[in-house]
Structure 1
Amino acid sequence: MSFPKTFPKRFPKSAAFAATTALSCCLVLAGCGTNPPQSQGATDSAAGTGSAAQTKLTVDKELNALLPEKARTSGKLVSVNNGSFPPYEIAGSDGHSLTGASADLSDALGQLLGVTIEHVTADGLPSELTGIKAGRYDLAIGPVGDFKDRQGANDFVDWVQEFVVFAVPKGNPHGIKDLDSTCGQRIAVMGGGSAEGVIKTQNEKCVKDGKPAVKIQSYKDQPGSILAVRSGRADAFFSSQAPLTYFVAQAKGDLELTGTGQSNGFDDLYQGAVVAKDSPLRDVLVKAIQKLIDNGTYGQVMKKWGLSANQLDKPGVNLGA
């Protein structure tokens, strides 16, 4: 993940409520297992079932010609995900099916590029990134947090902006409203994610200031972290606002968001697709995503999944600072 030195003002606190309300209308309550449940209501709500690209896109022959020879020959690209970043990535139990905004976007990208994009679920974000670097996977549609320390091994084609907040029990019984209020609290994070690094830094600050240490709980996926909060094992889950909005909507009044509209330890946070360093796919994806922005497909996908506030006007390479 990565945020500008001044936290963006285009995402007001009311936006989180609006997104939650919209999603609440179309999501059904379900338990949190290894993977979040696929929400048929979300898929049907704004753009009908299936891909958000309602009209089949014409193959762009120039972009197809720029693909790696292996992809042109096989007619496919393999995209890896960790199955737990709704409403972007909602993986099926078979380890290959995917729904969500990322699935819709990859369907449209596949049509435009003239290839099939196959989805494979890996065991956590570190496995995703190392697998791409090693060539086991062609890319991750993501969105994955774009940070300087990740850009040495991989390139990022950023297509969303995110924000990091807290999901807490209804009524916020522990009064968690920002990083400073996490001292002495049990905070769940995704292991290996950027939020984990921020909360570890905050823990050091708490101890230095003579306050109780943060009780950090690291989980391998989003559902496990949310389950810890819902079951009372954690006081809050610190993570990206889009998936937390999704989980809060599913909880039907058991959870709420807090810490919205603040930087919470980040500058501008960009997220995007990931490819191996200097892969020819990088520039292909930039051009392809720009075409989907220009023809309205990208906007349809983002609106369909309640993500309009996370849109970018154009994709960018390694925007994370």
Structure 2
Amino acid sequence: MINSRTRTRNRRRAAVVGTALVSALLTFGCSAQDPDQVGPKNDDDTSTAATKQPTLKTDPQLRAMLPADIKKSGKLVSVNSGSFPPYLIVGSDHNTTGASADLLNALGQLWGVKITEKTVDSLPSELTGISSGRYQMAFGPVGDFKERQQSNDFVDYVQEFVVFAVPKGNPKKITGLESACGAKIAAQAGGSAEKVIKDQQKKCAAAGKPKLTVMSFKDQPSSILAVQSGRADAFFSSQAPLTYFVKESGGKLELAGTGQQNGFEDLYQGAVVKKDSPLVPLLQQSLQKLHDNGSYDAIMKKWGLEANMIDKPGKNMAVS
């Protein structure tokens, strides 16, 4: 459970993210209403993790930890399930931008390999593809949960919070998870937020409260567009991308239910690899180096993600 100290820290972080992200959006934003720019591509699309970060030198010790096949080919593929701004924005030119893209580029420089992004149709496809060995990793960040650790390992590098994006004025008066009864709530299919809102749907029904309708979409842009078009009353998801979409909406959307647990304990997100993959220690040590040399701080702040920074990367940090 989140203790009072953590809850206070979370509220402070939540307040920081809105202000900090405005500056980043003015420079790097793309419209949530432009599916060609932020929508997912098909299963065959591959893109370079583009960035303008300073070049880092290859670290011989880290490179030596690479699996032999990756070292030989000089290539590594990171899979994703579409745009998750401001962490990952998949452009119409098949390039990716965002905090995760910048971090991936920095890792590629440390390892002396070219890392590319491959977009698939959904988060479940992403996770099962990694656990089956079809894909080498997903850098995400993807939510870390105990049940997911049965098939995959996580190297967490951010903390997230789950809230609602609602139309300006919050017509359904959604103030948290329990007040969602009677509303139509959008969620990304296969994600942790979808599971939590579906559990709340059952609680609303058991308590005899107005029906909560869950509308599942394959990606973030489709979900937020459902709210913008009036098909859904709210989108339940991670606060960082929702803050991005709210800022991009031109005053048509706002956040609701901030500063609360909303069905989650401390929520960590990060890179995902196959269970017991040799990439786990490599990712953890490499991300720690990016912490130590200041790259992590610079990239996260560049994208307005100060509220989501953690002190050090960690393996399987989920407590539930």
Q: TM-score, normalised by structure 2?
A: 0.91
Quote the Cα distance in structure 1 between the aligned partners of 2:122 and 2:38. Answer: 14
Q: Structure 1 20/175 Cα, relative in aligned 2: closer, same or farther at 3 Å?
A: farther
2:82 aligned residue: 83
1:203 aligned residue: 201
1:22 aligned residue: 23
Q: Judge conservation of contact 1:158–1:316 (CA < 8 Å) in 2.
A: yes
2:159 to 155, 158, 161: 161
1:155 counterpart SS class? strand
Unaligned 5+ runs, structure 2:
41-49
Deviations 1:207-247 (A, max 9, x none): 11110121100000000000000000000000000000110
Q: Structure 1 88/121 Cα, relative in aligned 2: closer, same or farther at 3 Å?
A: same
2:59 aligned residue: 60
Q: Judge conservation of contact 1:168–1:237 (CA < 8 Å) in 2.
A: yes
How many residues get paired? 306
Q: Judge conservation of contact 2:36–2:91 (CA < 8 Å) in 1.
A: no
Deviations 1:67-88 (A, max 9, x none): 1000000001110011221001
Matching of residues 1-321 of structure 1 within 5 Å: 4=2, 8-11=7-10, 12=12, 13-26=14-27, 27=29, 29=31, 31-33=33-35, 36=38, 51=51, 53-54=53-54, 56-93=55-92, 96-321=94-319
Quote the Cα distance in structure 2 between the aligned partners of 1:78 and 1:241. Answer: 27
1:8 counterpart SS class? helix
2:142 counterpart SS class? strand
Quote the Cα distance in structure 2 between the aligned partners of 1:28 and 1:274. Answer: 26
Deviations 1:38-65 (A, max 9, x none): 9xxxxxxxxxxx63532x2111111111
1:42 aligned residue: none
Quote the Cα distance in structure 1 between the aligned partners of 2:36 and 2:196. Answer: 25
2:8 counterpart SS class? coil
Quote the Cα distance in structure 1 between the aligned partners of 2:165 and 2:224. Answer: 8
Quote the Cα distance in structure 2 between the aligned partners of 1:64 and 1:89. Answer: 25
Code of the residue aligned with 2:310 in structure 1: it is L
Q: RMSD across aligned C-alpha pairs, in angstroms?
A: 1.8
Moved more, 291-300 or 14-23: 14-23
- Aligned-pair CA distance for 1:32: 4.0
Q: Structure 1 172/23 Cα, relative in aligned 2: closer, same or farther at 3 Å?
A: farther
Quote the Cα distance in structure 1 between the aligned partners of 2:131 and 2:7. Answer: 32
2:47 aligned residue: none
Q: TM-score, normalised by structure 1?
A: 0.91
2:7 counterpart SS class? coil
- Aligned-pair CA distance for 1:204: 1.2
Identity of matched residues, %:
58
1:148 counterpart SS class? coil
Deviations 1:149-198 (A, max 9, x none): 10011100000000000000001111011011100100000011001111
Quote the Cα distance in structure 1 between the aligned partners of 2:32 and 2:109. Answer: 33
Code of the residue aligned with 2:309 in structure 1: it is Q
2:57 counterpart SS class? coil
Quote the Cα distance in structure 2 between the aligned partners of 1:35 and 1:202. Answer: 33
Q: Judge conservation of contact 1:23–1:249 (CA < 8 Å) in 2.
A: no
Quote the Cα distance in structure 2 between the aligned partners of 1:91 and 1:317. Answer: 27
1:51 counterpart SS class? coil
